[in-house]
Structure 1
Amino acid sequence: MQRLADALDQINHWTGMTVRWFALLMVLLQFTVVLLRYVFGFSSIALNESVLYLHAALFMLGAGYTLLVDGHVRVDIFYAAATDKTKARIDAFGYVVLAIPSMAALLYWTWPSVINSISMMEGAISVGGIPAVWFLKSLIPAFCILLIIQSVACLLRQVVLLRGDVEDQGGAK
């Protein structure tokens, strides 16, 4: 189980290492937009939208990595003081009852819209913008799939912990 969890982790690790560069690119593009607008009097809707596209891709594709490194916000009134086994039970419950089903439902309900958007190559948000709304919509199933993959990896680790297979425990969280 641990090896499978580690293999699943690698998907989000690789994705996170890739999309983290979007943040730098986003800052550079926004700086360029401001510089062009206020220094040179030039404005481009497509350039403005490129920041929006990068922002969407960064957060949608980076969510699985954030779960991998345990970076999501956690309201831990009771969790912080709980034992490792209790934390594993809470986490397992969250993955099985909340995370995986909600991502599966979101994937199911958005899939027809995404397929329709891709099939018609849905165009720009604004006149003169990037003609790729289909790309933005395709981030939704990617988000769901990456979070399901990472939730399964985390769930496997909780099962290992609850079973008491200490020698199998390890890897990235």
Structure 2
Amino acid sequence: MPPLARIARQLDRLATAAGSLLGWLTLVMVLLQSAVVLLRYGFDGGSVALQDAVLYLHGAVLMLGLAYALQADAHVRVDVFYRRMSPRSRAWVNAVGTLVFLLPLCAFIILGSWHFTAASWAVRESSSSAGGLPGIYLLKSLIPLSALTLGLQGIAQLCRSLAELMLVETPPPAADTPASAPQANTVEELSA
């Protein structure tokens, strides 16, 4: 397996593990929200801490799910031309898009949120609601962390694209010659 494909596979494992954890966090979030609704409408009560927990989990799932969405190719893409492109053309689009847009955006988010997050940590910011959960500084830490994980997944996508671009395309065998062993024409076939 080429080194770039190996790096991409390792970074993909990180995103897949995070995606599994986020699936469980989503289940917990749904159960907590159900408890909030049951308390409010069934028992005419409520809990600010439970509502804050739902908001914290929602923020965590959204922010940390960015890398998983990119890895699963579930992100928003204007697919008018992309779906009709060859694998090599798609690799070019992915490589250029990652280098020109994704990685600079991730760096901008990390640098832009660093002071914001550090200020929150300095005062150990907590909920402004009476009875709310402490630890808003932990929630705000997810901003640079999500940009970091998204950047790492972008590097995985870049490695896959570069590996695809470095493959030497072999012409298919002529119809009148016997077929030899099948050649790998894409990174996925090569790493399988």
Give TM-score, length-normalised by structure 1.
0.93
SS at match of 1:70: coil
Question: Could you say which residue in structure 2 is the equivalent of 1:93?
Answer: 96
Of structures 1 and 2, the one with the larger relative CO (CA 8 A, separation 6+) is: 1
The answer to whether 1:139 aligns with 2:142 is yes
Pick aligned residue for 1:22 from 13, 22, 25: 25
Distance 1:41 1:118 in 2: 36
Structure 2 spans left out of the alignment, 5+ residues? 169-183
Report percent identity of matched pairs: 39
Q: Is the 8 A contact 1:110 1:141 kept in 2?
A: yes
- Greater fraction of residues in helix: 1
2:187 matched to which residue of 1?
A: 169
Over residues 45-84 of structure 1, what are the superposed CA-to-partner deviations in whole Å (9 max), with x where a residue is unaligned?
Answer: 1111111111110111111111111111211111111111
Asked if 2 retains the 8 angstrom alpha-carbon contact of 1:2 and 1:168, the reply is no
Equivalent of 2:124 in 117, 121, 134: 121
**Match runs of 1:62-101 below 5 Å:** 62-101=65-104
Q: CA RMSD in A?
A: 1.6
**SS of the counterpart of 1:13?**
helix
Q: Give the distance between the partners of 2:136 and 2:37, measured in 1 at CA.
A: 24
Could you say which structure has the larger radius of gyration?
Answer: 2
**1:124-157 CA distances to partner (integer Å, 9 max, x unpaired)?**
1422211111011011011101100000001000
| Alpha-carbon distance between aligned partners in 2 of 1:155 and 1:21, rounded to the nearest angstrom | 29
The aligned residue for residue 37 of structure 2 is 34
Gaps of 5+ in 1: none
Aligned twin of 1:55: 58
User: Does the CA contact (< 8 Å) of 1:8 and 1:150 recur in 2?
Assistant: yes
Find the counterpart in structure 1 of residue 176 from structure 2: none
Shift of 1:168: 8.0
C-alpha deviation, 1:2, in angstroms: 1.1
Corresponding letter in the other structure for 1:169: V
Match of 2:8 among 2, 5, 13: 5
User: How many aligned residue pairs are there?
Assistant: 172
